[in-house]
Structure 1
Amino acid sequence: MDIDTDIDTTAGPHLSWRQVWTRRMARHGLTGASPATAEPSRVADIVAAMCGAHAQVMSAAELSIGARSGGGTRADVRAALRGPDGLVKTFGPRGTVHLLPARDLPMWTGALSALPSGPGAMPKGSRLTDEQAEQVVEAIAVALEDAADDGLTVEELGDAVVGATGPWAGDLVIPAFQGMWPRWRQALVPAARRGALCFGPDRGRKATYVSPRRRLPGFRPAPADEALGALVERYLYAYGPATPRQFAQWLGAPAPWAATLFDKLTADGSLRQIDVEGSTGWLGASDDGEADQGPQRAAPATALRLLPYFDAYVVGCHPRDRLFPGPAAARALSRTGQAGNYPVLLIDGTVAGVWHLRRSGRKADLTVEPLAPLSAARRRALDKEAARIGTFLDVTDLRLTIGTVTAGQHA
């Protein structure tokens, strides 16, 4: 847990951890009844509240959004990937694939393109130089702006990049799953961060890339300072109170850079510090209503939810020792302490078990492993949650079992 011992926690606003989990659950749309998802703009609202849905595996992203919708379906999520009012699939926090609201793409690209760049993981002789990276990003932008509406596959985009820059861009230097990738692909994430590309519609089993300007006429990244301030505010609204280090971990940025950013935003009155049972975190300056209520007025957090792996709530919430209390850390965190590797049972805002779904056609077996016995009320809530997942996935026969989950990570 990050604790700032220089802060006087005897004065100023206070929250209890119970209040923290209550507000986080509510702001993620994980408590109470949500309006049914149908219109792309409603799906975008859900994803905006999450600060993006991790979409390396689309089925998990769909379940994340479904957990926050009232009676929505996978078809609603997929429909939102078309048009200016829905979602864009692109590289987001930590350089991983995310679904983001199309309307927020100027903010995201303005903020992500302002992140400091490090040396990268590639050996010096294999990585792109700064000059080469600029050439590749420019070539990507030109190729996609000139492409048809269905975009270019990675192979087609590679041909265009090599033709515009030179053979060096096509050198096979990046270790991949079943071979080597060309040098230019190191610039895919930077190109997305600068607004030069996003994912287009799949072409069979192949992904495509398109120019965001084809989806959003007039699109351009927002100014860096404006975008970074807005992103910090949204992150803290969804995951606060939080520290600069926690923000840096979520975003995939250097911790000293994040500390400087928080200092600047605190100094100009955009952020405020708050005590949570002896530890200090930050909230947006205007986000003080719930913080000032006091622990005695906290609403109980009673929601029980089943969240897929890499759900935004699990990845973004800190501190880990409170999100994964007691045996939950050993059962649901990776060996390195990474969150999100397992689908989790969430009770009262914290991890209370794991689960696994095995599907065959329109039938499915759902196994839930609670880490403590469930009360009758919570068992009824679990039955309701299982039924919700079945409806979302259009499963006609879902069998729920309380027992040990034997599947490993990402299964």
Structure 2
Amino acid sequence: MSPLEAVRHLVGLQAQAPNPPYIGLWSRLADFALADLADLLSSRQVVRLALMRSTIHLVDSRDAEPLRGLLAPVLVRGFRATVGRAFDDVDHDEVAAVGAGIVAEEPLTAAELGRRLAVRWPNHEPDRLAALVRTQVGLVQVPPRGLWGSSGQAKHTTLAAWLPETNAAAMSPDTVIRRYLAAFGPATPADAQMWSGLTGLREVFERQADLVTFRDEADRVLYDLPEAPRPDPDTPAPVRLVAAFDNLILSHADRSRVIADEHRKPVIMGTGNGNVRPTVLVDGVVVGMWGTQRTKRTAVLTITPLAKISAKDRRAIEPEARRLLAVTDPDADTVEIHYA
């Protein structure tokens, strides 16, 4: 696949931080260069905005408005859970319209937008006013945010201003479920709900008569597309260094298919602020976490094991780690692979 085809196939990559989508594509694609994704962002072929689970995702621009329309209730529900009844005295549509007009003229950070809105609605916290606009309006994070190596602030404008020719209807639940299964199946309705934030998906699965079904070890029904590839169970899965926040780790209610329950806390819960650490896969299962550090002339990749890693597996991990550092730190004189 090309990088754009991969972004579309995955229905986007989770992207709270700017760099993980680059590693997410590098870990999946042959001959991927960091500039490939940076060029897609600069040319507006991919965009960054709040979608699944109300989190920032990087998606194909053709998917942005249709997904935003489908997932609008998820964002509203998340906002309501945060503010309770605090905004019942405010016309949400009016705040959204004013905020959309402001950022359509000039991309702003959430803090800047909140301060401007607070002039008109002084009885409400600026950050929550900005969050209300994000809930009601598709707001794109514009470059240089999201470009590899850039430290640009997250400034926002509207989807309509950034992609003026986009005028697509909301994606149907049936369509998004089939695309989810193409990327992450076989899966249960609960898995798809965990990935998307949508509810009531069991009926959507059950009304698609062509889906094939299986039973997992817990006797749950797993659905899949009839034409989906299903390799022999003994097919080896190569070592992979998985990006932070990668949807591979987050896209199932039953995450034990990828990460053991006892390893979830240090990877998913132990970092604060909803962070998800980058992980090491051996035979398709998380066995450790990884991180990089750069001194003036040396790039170091450190692996923190969560389970015993055999000498054979370490020999398979090291060239993959060196391959990654060759992409992320091409100017380093030396590279080192350490185990914590």
TM-score normalized by the length of structure 1: 0.70
The structural deviation recorded for 1:201 is: 2.3
Q: Is the 8 A contact 2:216 2:222 kept in 1?
A: no
Q: How many residue pairs get matched?
A: 330
Structure 2 SS opposite 1:80: helix
- Give the aligned partner of residue 226 of structure 2: 287
Structure 2 SS opposite 1:189: helix
* Aligned match for 2:335, one of 390, 395, 398: 398
* Aligned match for 2:292, one of 342, 357, 362: 357
Q: Which amino acid aligns with 1:314?
A: I
Mapping of 1:62-73 within 5 angstroms?
Answer: 62-73=22-33
Aligned partners of 2:58 and 2:217: how far apart in 1?
34
- Give the aligned partner of residue 324 of structure 1: 259
Aligned partners of 1:202 and 1:82: how far apart in 2?
8
Aligned partners of 1:129 and 1:388: how far apart in 2?
53
Indicate whether 1:212 and 2:154 are aligned.
no
Question: Taking every aligned residue pair, what percent have the same amino acid on both sides?
Answer: 23
* Aligned match for 1:199, one of 131, 137, 141: 141
Aligned partners of 1:232 and 1:268: how far apart in 2?
10
TM-score normalized by the length of structure 2: 0.83
Residues 265 and 248 of structure 1: is their aligned pair in 2 closer, same or farther, counting only changes over 3 Å? closer
Give structure 2 stretches of 5+ with no counterpart. 146-150
Mapping of 1:142-157 within 5 angstroms?
Answer: 142-145=101-104, 147=105, 151-154=107-110, 156-157=112-113
- Give the aligned partner of residue 232 of structure 1: 177
Q: Is the 8 A contact 1:237 1:287 kept in 2?
A: no
The structural deviation recorded for 1:400 is: 0.6
Aligned partners of 2:92 and 2:247: how far apart in 1?
30
Aligned partners of 1:92 and 1:316: how far apart in 2?
14
Largest Rg, 1 or 2: 1
Residues 289 and 49 of structure 1: is their aligned pair in 2 closer, same or farther, counting only changes over 3 Å? closer
Residues 356 and 121 of structure 1: is their aligned pair in 2 closer, same or farther, counting only changes over 3 Å? same
Structure 1 SS opposite 2:42: coil
Q: Is the 8 A contact 1:332 1:339 kept in 2?
A: no
Give structure 1 stretches of 5+ with no counterpart. 1-34, 36-41, 174-180, 405-411
Q: Is the 8 A contact 2:241 2:280 kept in 1?
A: yes
Residues 61 and 157 of structure 1: is their aligned pair in 2 closer, same or farther, counting only changes over 3 Å? same
Indicate whether 1:113 and 2:89 are aligned.
no
Q: Is the 8 A contact 1:242 1:283 kept in 2?
A: yes
Indicate whether 1:47 and 2:15 are aligned.
no
Aligned partners of 1:269 and 1:218: how far apart in 2?
35
Indicate whether 1:263 and 2:219 are aligned.
no
Residues 231 and 131 of structure 1: is their aligned pair in 2 closer, same or farther, counting only changes over 3 Å? farther
Structure 2 SS opposite 1:134: helix
Mapping of 1:6-405 within 5 angstroms?
Answer: 42-84=2-44, 86-115=45-74, 117-118=76-77, 119-124=80-85, 127-129=86-88, 132-145=91-104, 147=105, 151-154=107-110, 156-158=112-114, 161=117, 167-168=120-121, 170-173=122-125, 181-192=126-137, 195=138, 197-202=139-144, 205-223=152-170, 226-253=171-198, 258=199, 260-269=200-209, 271-284=211-224, 286-290=225-229, 297-298=232-233, 300-325=235-260, 328-329=263-264, 331-334=266-269, 341-361=276-296, 363-370=298-305, 371-376=307-312, 378-395=313-330, 396=332, 397-401=334-338, 403-404=339-340
Aligned partners of 1:70 and 1:154: how far apart in 2?
37
Q: Is the 8 A contact 2:3 2:32 kept in 1?
A: no
Aligned partners of 1:246 and 1:115: how far apart in 2?
16
Higher relative contact order (CA 8 A, sep 6+): 1
RMSD: 3.2
